[in-house]
C-alpha cells in the first residue's frame, strides 16, 4: 500500500486534479466546483499552517544533533531552543502582558530594528565606493543616482523642482526594470508549474531528485 501511495504517477495525478479543482473555477462558473475549490484551499491553508510544528521539530532535531557533536557555535543552538521553549511557555500566560509581552517589546523589537538599521551603514559605504565614473555606463548610473538622491531628499523639493525629472526616471527606466522583473518571475513560475505538472520536477513531491 505504501508503495502505491509513494508512486510518482499517483502523486502527479493527485496534484493535477488538485490543480484543476483550483484553476478551473476561475474560468467556469459551476457553484459546486466553486464550493469544492474553496474547501480545498481552506484545507491547504490549515495543513500548511501545521508545517510550523514540523519546522519546530526539525529545528530541535538539528539542534540536539549540534549539541551532541559540539561544533563551533553550538551554544547558540542551545540558546535558540531555549528561546523557542520559553516563548511557547510565555505565550500560554497571555499575549498582552507578562513575559511574552516583555520579550516581544524589550528584546525582539530592538534586535530586529538594529538588524535592519545597520544595513544603512553597509549601503552607504558600498554606495560611496562603488559609484565611480569609470566609463559611460557608470557615468549614466551616477548621474541618475544623484538626481534620484536629490529628488528623494524631501528638503530639495522646497527649493528645486526635480519632480518632473524624478517622476520621468521612475515612470520610464525604473518602471521598465520593475515590469521586466515581474514578468520574468511570473513566466518563470508558470514554466516551473508546467514542469511540475509534467512530472519533470519530482523533488517538489519529495519522490526523487531534480532532473
Partner 1 sequence: MMSVLKHFAEYDRRIVYLALFLVVTIMLMTPIGLPISVSPSTMQYYDVLEALGPDDRILAVLNTEFSGYMEIQSGIIASIRVMVEKEAKICIAVAHPEATGIPELVLSAIKSTMDEHQYTYGEDYVVLGYVFPNEASVASAAQDWHGAIHNDFYGNSIEGTFLDEINDWSDWTLISDYTTGIQTTALINHFGLRGAPMIVNGIGVEISILAPYLDTGIYKALLQSMRGGAELEYLTGHPGPGMTAMDAFTIGHYLMILLIVIGNIGYFGYTRNAGRNVE
Q: What nine digits make up the cell of 166?
A: 524624478
> Is there binding between residue 170 and partner 1 (CB under 8 A)?
yes
Residues 139 and 133: their CA atoms lie apart, in Å, by 5
Within residues 108-147, the interface with partner 1 by CB under 8 A covers 108-109, 112-113, 115-117, 120-121, 124-125, 127-129, 131-134, 142, 145-146
Q: Are 88 and 105 in contact (CB under 8 A)?
A: no
174 is an interface residue for partner 1 by CB under 8 A? yes
Size of the site for partner 1 (CB under 8 A): 54
C-beta separation of 73 from 80 below 8 A: no
Q: Out of 10, 78, 167, 191, name the contact with partner 1 by CB under 8 A.
A: 167
First to last CA, the chain: 26
Which among 178, 123, 184, 118 has a CA at the least distance from the CA of 149?
Answer: 123
Smallest separation, CB 45 to partner 1 (Å): 4
Alpha helices by DSSP H, listed for the chain, are: 2-6, 8-23, 31-49, 51-69, 74-92, 98-103, 109-117, 119-130, 136-152, 156-159, 163-169, 175-197
Binding mask 36-75 for partner 1 (x = CB under 8 A): -xxx-xx-xx--xx--x-----------------------
Q: Please report, as ranges, the residues that interact with partner 1 according to CB under 8 A.
A: 37-39, 41-42, 44-45, 48-49, 52, 95-96, 104-105, 108-109, 112-113, 115-117, 120-121, 124-125, 127-129, 131-134, 142, 145-146, 149-150, 152-158, 163, 167, 170, 174-175, 177-179, 181-182
Amino acid at each position: 500500500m505504501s508503495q502505491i501511495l509513494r508512486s510518482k504517477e499517483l502523486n502527479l495525478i493527485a496534484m493535477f486534479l488538485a490543480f484543476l479543482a483550483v484553476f478551473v473555477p476561475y474560468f467556469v462558473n459551476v457553484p459546486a466546483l466553486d464550493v469544492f475549490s474553496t474547501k480545498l484551499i481552506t484545507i491547504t491553508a490549515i495543513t500548511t499552517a501545521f508545517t510550523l510544528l514540523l519546522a519546530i521539530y526539525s529545528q530541535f532535531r538539528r539542534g540536539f544533533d549540534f549539541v551532541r557533536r559540539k561544533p563551533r557555535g553550538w551554544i547558540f543552538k542551545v540558546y535558540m531552543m531555549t528561546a523557542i521553549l520559553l516563548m511557547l511557555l510565555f505565550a500560554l500566560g497571555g499575549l498582552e502582558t507578562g513575559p511574552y509581552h516583555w520579550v516581544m517589546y524589550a528584546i525582539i523589537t530592538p534586535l530586529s530594528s538594529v538588524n535592519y538599521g545597520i544595513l544603512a551603514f553597509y549601503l552607504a559605504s558600498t554606495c560611496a565606493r562603488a559609484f565611480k565614473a569609470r566609463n559611460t555606463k557608470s557615468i549614466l548610473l551616477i548621474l541618475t543616482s544623484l538626481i534620484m538622491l536629490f529628488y528623494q531628499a524631501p528638503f530639495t523639493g522646497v527649493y528645486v523642482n526635480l519632480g518632473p525629472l524624478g517622476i520621468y526616471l521612475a515612470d520610464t527606466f525604473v518602471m521598465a526594470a520593475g515590469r521586466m522583473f515581474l514578468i520574468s518571475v511570473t513566466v518563470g513560475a508558470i514554466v516551473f508549474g508546467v514542469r511540475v505538472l509534467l512530472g519533470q520536477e519530482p523533488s517538489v513531491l519529495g519522490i526523487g531528485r531534480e532532473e
